[in-house]
Amino acid sequence: MKLESFWLDTAPAFQGGAAGQVGEAADRVDVAIVGGGYSGLSAGLALARRGASVVVLEAGRVIGEASGRNGGQCNNGTAQSYSALVQEFGEDTARRFYLAYNSAVDTVERLVQSENIDCGFRRCGKLKLAAKPEHYEGLARASEALLAAGVDPGVKLVTAAELPAELGCGGYFGGLLQPDSAQMHVGKFGVGLAEAAAAAGARVYEHAAVTGLQRLPSGDWQVSSARGSVQAKQVLVTTGGSGPGPFGWFRRRIVPVGSFAVVTAPLPAELTERLLPQSRNYVTTRHIGNYFRLTPDNRLLFGGRARFAVSNPKSDQKSGAVLRAALERHFPELQGVGIDYCWGGTVDMSQDRLPRAGEKNGLYYSMGYSGHGVQMSVHMGEVMAEVMAGNRAANPWRDLSWPAIPGHFGKPWFLPLVGLYYQWLDRVQ
């Protein structure tokens, strides 16, 4: 069993990385982007295509963190229910938020096509599975709200009687199908996006962790990294805020939550056709739930919040054991199946699970995708290119306030308590 991401291990190597020190090619650039994940690469591509000089500074390898360590699901739909968004923000804003997620999936598909990225992108649909009868009632109300608002016209309830045509295991009471959701090989997509950004003229530096940001009297920024310094007219921060570096303001507003996954050995086609006949994206309604899908080479990827802990090799192994047990409960036919990959990653959560993007004291940022980053991070890279060109209205999250989380200074000491609270909710709700 490899303790590394299946997506990263099976993606091609990035060939377009910039050589030498950051400041060698130019003393001054239009934009420096902090973070070589989907947001940074998408923004770098969009800005370079606009004629801007761009450097992308990645602390490790491109897409080496959340962008390459997720479940490979590219789903529309928000973390909160549409009705909850309407109640909190009103119909117009809730509609804008929801449609942004729909647009995000479209953005990924457009980039796959326009850049000829071979990543197996497919509109497979997402099926949210009701773990309890009352959860199905909640999904029914959610379906009614989405259809009444016209924001997700393809959404469909799947009854318990219809579920065997969708899923070859018991234990669920129906589901909600959102057919516009997609899946892809996120590693191959990310490397393809990086190659496209480099081909467009963005200089993408790996192993260039940003160590300093200084605003100069001219209004420019001096950006220091492990591979040298550069002066930039504008800076876009897309790291998520929970990692190291001079980003304390963001760390107080983002909670890094561990998410873990295992991938089985390749499975016989007749078995997967019986267990997952539609080969969709699957998520469950529990607070500490699971997500799963088939990979392009017919393995089962099975993940979730196995433990409320951060990712490291020891933690990943413990989480892998928890996930194996859950996988075998879901699919008894896979008892004792070989597990080839196990890994963890970090989901950067905002307090209300909505993204945050905009400008703070001259510093642009986009982060906090809260488990919906595969599509929204790509989309927001393009959006922030628009915003930095002067179109603030392009940003759907522009009016959201972002107070610091009380008692949080970067290290999520309270995660075990959150885990206990979610376990209690799963028992009583």
Does the structure show a pLDDT above 80 at 79?
Answer: yes
Question: What's residue 308's pLDDT?
Answer: 59
Virtual CA dihedral for 195, 199, 203, 205, nearest 10 degrees? 20
Which tokens sit at 36? 């070589």
Q: What is the mean pLDDT of residues 397-417?
A: 79
Q: Select from 5, 57, 376, 15 the least CA-distant residue to 191.
A: 15
Instruction: Tell me the pLDDT tens digit for each residue of 35-70.
Output: 999 999 999 999 999 999 999 999 999 999 999 999
Q: Is the pLDDT of residue 273 over 80?
A: yes
All structural domains of the chain: 6-416 (3.50.50.60)
**pLDDT number for residue 419:** 56
- Predicted local distance difference test score (pLDDT) of residue 306: 52
Per-chain mean pLDDT for the chain:
93
Average pLDDT over residues 140-167: 97
pLDDT at 325: 94
**146 to each of 78, 124, 216, how far by Cα in Å?**
11, 19, 48
Task: Quote the percentage of the chain above a pLDDT of 70.
Answer: 93
Grade residue 349 by pLDDT with cuts at 50, 70 and 90.
Answer: confident
* Structural Rg of the chain based on CA atoms: 21
What lies within 8 Å, CB to CB, of 138 at 6+ separation is: 81, 130, 285
Pick 65 or 414 by higher pLDDT. Answer: 65
**C-alpha to C-alpha distance for 65 and 68, rounded to whole angstroms:** 6
pTM (two decimals): 0.94
Q: What is the mean pLDDT of residues 333-341?
A: 97
Confidence of residue 415 (pLDDT cuts 50, 70, 90): low
pLDDT of residue 423 exceeding 80, the answer is: no
pLDDT beyond 50 at 140: yes
pLDDT in the model for residue 409: 72
pLDDT in tens, 103-132: 999 999 999 999 999 999 999 999 999 999
- pLDDT at residue 311 is higher than 90: no
**Cα separation values, 184 from 63, 126, 377, Å:** 15, 13, 15
Contact partners, residue 161, CB within 8 Å, separation at least 6: none
Contact 342, 320 (CB under 8 A): yes
Predicted pLDDT at 184? 98
Per-residue pLDDT at 24: 87
How does pLDDT run across 21-33, given as a tens digit for each residue?
998 888 899 999 9
Which of 421, 417, 422 shows the shortest CA–CA distance to 289?
422
Pairing relationship of beta strands 203-205 and 54-57 according to DSSP bridges: parallel
Query: What is the model's pLDDT at position 257?
Result: 84
Amino acid 421: pLDDT: 45
CB 229 within 8 A of CB 386: no
Average pLDDT score over residue span 137-161: 97
Is the pLDDT assigned to residue 312 strictly greater than 80? no
